[in-house]
Structure 1
């Protein structure tokens, strides 16, 4: 992997971690994908040229390609991902002739000047090490009407006590890894490169509920990069504590108590930056 990729991202999302990540991470609400579709100024016949940076295992790419408003809109989708393991998994799970994936980073995509209508970065931009260089690269590969879209699924710790407790327990192990909730990303939008090349950002959020069970919640905790690198004894203790939090269930909203299913509250955040 490239040296301009965060070390925890390299190890925590390395080969062997990707099946769990892909299986257990939530997809994205349909409303957020519809919103992103309206951002592009491409007109009929639609032929959106999209770049997916930090493409991961393909969760967002598959959701985009399957969405009814996107299925006939994408001409070419070029995914960029620095993790060998994630690229391999993406290749196995994304089956669409319009989509390809290559090695690359936020500031070195390998895409031609002015090629893209849209850049979409899902669940990844908080790992960017140099925001100025990244936005200079984004501006280079976007066409004159292009835009960058950042999207995250965020656990809604304000919606239920058990979610807040779960996050607090997991975050003990963060060790200063980049996290969206720490709001350091706001600095990205005040860099000279951003302010000179892009319009002020636009934001929109959607609240939604994913399906939860004890196994889903536990596996989702274990899928975090900084958790996957923990020693076995620390993982075991974390798993025990997660079980206690789930069983206590403060604020739990049941879907089917007999089946053990309940709501996992999330927020989908979309941030849009339009090229000047």
Structure 2
């Protein structure tokens, strides 16, 4: 795996992560997934760590990919999820083999945003949706989060909703900003060929 980003931090934090983090926003994720134009039977949770986002979803078969082996161990052991160690920039998943992808509160930790978006587009079947839940660095509270993560040594790179939507569009995904705030949701639907 190249460019592990903040993975060492998450390996150390794994035992406390679910205690420190609030549950994922299932309503925002569902609203983003509702844009898919195909049934969602197989969902890939990229940067899914301990399975926190997967716990907020019901229905599809969920696979977690994360670079932190300690976080994946928790996803398997505590949530019974299928989980594989992998780099978001080189997903260990076949082309057009999943109906949906989620990235929840993790995109800013990925070392290569462009490669991750390309890989998401590659693994999504036509009509499938990606839903990215992130923090807005232009929001006053978002600016505080950026400063806090950098102060503790993280290499986080945050993107505003419109910037992330434009990047999805460039990768062949029809983007929609689902909601805004310090935490926002952007969805993209894989264009049919």
Q: Does structure 2 conserve the Cα–Cα contact (< 8 Å) formed by 1:132 and 1:194? A: no
Q: Does structure 1 conserve the Cα–Cα contact (< 8 Å) formed by 2:45 and 2:63? A: yes
Query: Larger radius of gyration, structure 1 or 2?
Result: 1
Q: Does structure 1 conserve the Cα–Cα contact (< 8 Å) formed by 2:24 and 2:104? A: no
Unaligned runs of 5+ in 2: none
Q: How does 1:92-103 map to 2 (within 5 A)?
A: 92-95=77-80, 99-103=81-85
Specify the alignment match of 2:17 in structure 1.
Answer: 21
- Structure 1 residues 108-139: Cα deviation after superposition (integer angstroms, max 9, x where no partner): 22111111111111111112222332222112
State whether structure 2 residue 28 is matched by structure 1 residue 50. Answer: no
Question: What is the aligned counterpart of 2:172 among 197, 202, 207?
Answer: 197
Q: Does structure 1 conserve the Cα–Cα contact (< 8 Å) formed by 2:33 and 2:129? A: no
Specify the alignment match of 1:272 in structure 2.
Answer: 187
Q: Distance in 1 between matches of 2:127 and 2:95?
A: 13
TM-score (norm 1): 0.59
Q: Distance in 1 between matches of 2:24 and 2:125?
A: 26
Q: Matched residue of 1:28: which SS?
A: coil
Q: 1:52 offset after TM fit, Å?
A: 0.6
Q: How does 1:173-252 map to 2 (within 5 A)?
A: 173-174=151-152, 177-180=155-158, 183=159, 190=166, 194-199=169-174, 201-205=175-179
Q: Distance in 2 between matches of 1:78 and 1:38?
A: 19
Q: Does structure 2 conserve the Cα–Cα contact (< 8 Å) formed by 1:29 and 1:268? A: no
State whether structure 2 residue 5 is matched by structure 1 residue 12. Answer: no
Specify the alignment match of 1:140 in structure 2.
Answer: 122
Q: Does structure 2 conserve the Cα–Cα contact (< 8 Å) formed by 1:118 and 1:146? A: yes
- Structure 1 residues 52-90: Cα deviation after superposition (integer angstroms, max 9, x where no partner): 1101111111121xxxxx3xx31x211111111111111
Q: Matched residue of 1:62: which SS?
A: helix
TM-score (norm 2): 0.81
Specify the alignment match of 1:84 in structure 2.
Answer: 69
Specify the alignment match of 1:237 in structure 2.
Answer: none
1:110/1:173 CA distance change after superposition, 3 Å: same
- Structure 1 residues 188-234: Cα deviation after superposition (integer angstroms, max 9, x where no partner): 5555x8515222x2113267xxxxxxxxxxxxxxxxxxxxxxxxxxx
Q: Matched residue of 1:147: which SS?
A: strand
